[in-house]
Structure 1
Amino acid sequence: MITIISASNRKGNMTQFFANYCKNQLEERGEKVKLFCLDELPNRIDLDEVYNYEHSIFTVIAQHYIIPCDKLFFVVPEYNGSIPGILKLFMDAIKPEFYAGKKAALLGIAAGRAGNLRGMDHLTDILHYLQVEVMALKLPVSKIYDILGELGVVEDKNTQEAINQQLEKFINY
């Protein structure tokens, strides 16, 4: 099973459009997929509970999305030249051994022109520390406002092709 993490908690974020595109493409290829969008986290997070691995909302989420999967597919927007802080908090709040031995792929998105390359490097370092093997093809997608249609659909054919190639490689990874 593959879990897709849409790594923004901003309401109405663009990240979810790319995550949904990936989910649909993987399902069309017969893959079992779950999607977790970080905007589904509670509005108020008790920071004292973050490291209470046994009784936190993060443990419940991990039991449904992280533990049962073999692979993680991260769709990560650029926030201040890196990954969103909520993604780091989310990852920190889950027992490290729940990640160990899994494989991951990274799709970086940005309104600018670098496609969150630096953020994907930062996330790769974190995942390696957690003993997650990261696929070498980390796809940066730039100028996302030019790629998405009015309804949040990934319309750009070159972007669709690049994402589909990454997904095919990830299936066989």
Structure 2
Amino acid sequence: MAIKSFKRYEKKYLITQEQYDLLIPKILDYMEFDEHCKNNQNYNIYSIYYDNDNNDVIRHSISKPYYKEKLRLRSYKITSNPDDIVFLELKKKISGIVNKRRIVLTFKQAIDFLEKGIRPCTDDYVNNQVLNEIEYYLSNHDVHPAVFIGYSRKAFFANLSPASTINCPSDKVPLTL
């Protein structure tokens, strides 16, 4: 089952290839590759971010406010079919802590919802709550697809075995490189 809502801390750094090559073996003393890094390889992410004609969402985000939120449509493969699975996400950041709410839909369901207001049917309470939040966001923000970002990622989770000395707020804390 896909995680529908989660909280995490994100730290992003720009490093050189040499720094990366030195860092990975040290990280593996405390962390393990996430389940999507098949054979310890990167995986791809494709996102469409929604904004208005004046780019107010990204302008607000860049200003480093206490609270910000973004709507995005995400996929882990190139979407070429209406039945392909995508994730419609409302990403919120409050005082540096990221909360992401998402629903798993087909590409067609996501586009019908975003462009035509046709709400996907679901009996799941959490899915309905996420849809309510996205509907509220859309009713208060006149947004449309604005930016496509695709990248390759290698993600890690903290390994809190007894030999580990890392101090984390939960048993699995993501780290993305």
With normalisation by structure 1, the TM-score equals 0.24
Question: Normalized per residue, which structure has more helix?
Answer: 1
With normalisation by structure 2, the TM-score equals 0.24
Q: Highest Rg: 1 or 2?
A: 2
